[in-house]
Copies of this chain bind each other. A is one copy, B any other.
Amino acid sequence: MARCTDSAMSAVDPDLEAPEERRFLSTAEAAALERELLEDYRFGRQQLVELCGHASAVAVTKVFPLAALSRKQRTVLVVCGPEQNGAVGLVCARHLRVFEYEPTIFYPTRSMDPLHRDLTTQCEKMDIPFLSYLPVEVQLINDAYRLVVDAVLGPGAEPGKVGGPCTRALATLKLLSIPLVSLDIPSGWDAETGSDAEDGLRPDVLVSLAAPKRCAGRFSGRHHFVAGRFVPDDVRRKFALRLPGYTGTDCVVAL
């Protein structure tokens, strides 16, 4: 490919000797891929967050199809953090609402970013309830919701720095017995090493956004989807992403 120059290829981690075997991105590669989409391809954040949030909702429908749920089982708790992962969670909640699920949002630390604010308004105006606090008694959550979407922390986040209600929310999510769907990485895991994979969240479903991050290698849940159909072929080749093909107009693919 003409655009796949030497300098472009340097985005790929030189430590990896067999990139053709590789499926998962290091944190630096994931950041470089996102930069490529934003700066070179001129994707907008609003556009990417919309595509990722929509695909995340579609992934939820694949594992928990509406037809298999009773009216009371359509309830989904979406826990959103203050960064980009949380923005994707807000979009996911909106599309779940459109798909006739019953999402509820817990978004304790609100971002001042206009994108987050607008996405919040969309959810509020669509009558999606926002919890003002998360019950400490996990059985209340287990009883009230069919599943929880974890959109708290993305790959760049430093769990120690988030603090406050998000940290407490993660401690609560760890104790739940209902299924957990994590967006991009299980919140609190190190995106690179997956450390905290033993003690941290143990999601049943992982939805990798754009491409799987390295920590996904330690994911042991039932379903792993990639939501990266929008990633151009040239970018996939440049980052040596070897992923199964998408079917029809599907925006997610199961690994």
Contacts and interface: CB of A to CB of B under 8 A. Distances in A.
Interface string A42-83: 111011001100000110010000100000000000000000
Contact of A47 (B42, B47, B127, B234): B47
**Complex copy number for this chain:** 2
Nearest to A57: B249
Contact of A44 (B46, B127, B233): B46
A118 interface: yes
A208 B131 CA distance: 36
Question: Which residue among A58, A99, A125 has the maximum number of chain B CB atoms within 10 Å of its CB?
Answer: A125
Contacts of A98: 229-230
Interface residues of A, number: 31
A57 B118 CA distance: 26
A58 B126 contact: no
Contact of A125 (B40, B115, B117, B121): B40
A232 interface: yes
A173 B121 CA distance: 41
Given A41-B125, A98-B230, A234-B126, A249 B61 contact: yes
Given A47-B50, A125-B41, A249 B58 contact: yes
A30 to B, nearest CB: 19
A118 B232 contact: no
Contact of A232 (B43, B47, B115, B126): B126
B46 A99 contact: no
17 contacts: A40-B125, A41-B121, A41-B122, A42-B117, A42-B118, A44-B46, A44-B118, A46-B46, A46-B50, A47-B50, A50-B50, A58-B249, A61-B248, A99-B248, A125-B232, A126-B232, A126-B233
